[in-house]
Structure 1
């Protein structure tokens, strides 16, 4: 417990004002609206979760071009993907191939 408290104090001293330390497991959100992924590019760390919320009137997918994921994004509930390795993951909607996005995964 003492080490956790010391780490928190140390982190607050070395980080510039207004900058917070992100931890694994935090989320990035992508909204699907008007046949578009918004934002089209998100940056996360390994262990973070990307959540797609479909606000369109039709179903979509988030399908990576390299086969890392193929996720249905229904209008009824959010869809999630957890980043497991670093890299840029270009993706698109299989039903509407003009819809594209990128997930950048950092270490």
Structure 2
């Protein structure tokens, strides 16, 4: 099946929430975030991740801390702040409501694709 939908546009709106969830699971650095997103079949380039990380830091939802790396230069690990935890909780609530509504719309309409 050929995919005509640009998944990157859909993902753009939810990327902040996905990144916050991964950071909440355990502190991570930028490249590691890209790998973790790929594990969920969310192919996001590092170049797309760093602007989001900067935006999240400016909003004070995450903080960064440099740590030594066993292989190579120091890495900046990201942690959720108290505000970030609140935001993530709100994001999850909003996501569940939006997902439920969109699923209802998509599943309830006529199915021309099959």
Q: Structure 1 length as normaliser, TM-score?
A: 0.27
Give the structure with the higher percent strand. 1
**More helix by percentage:** 2
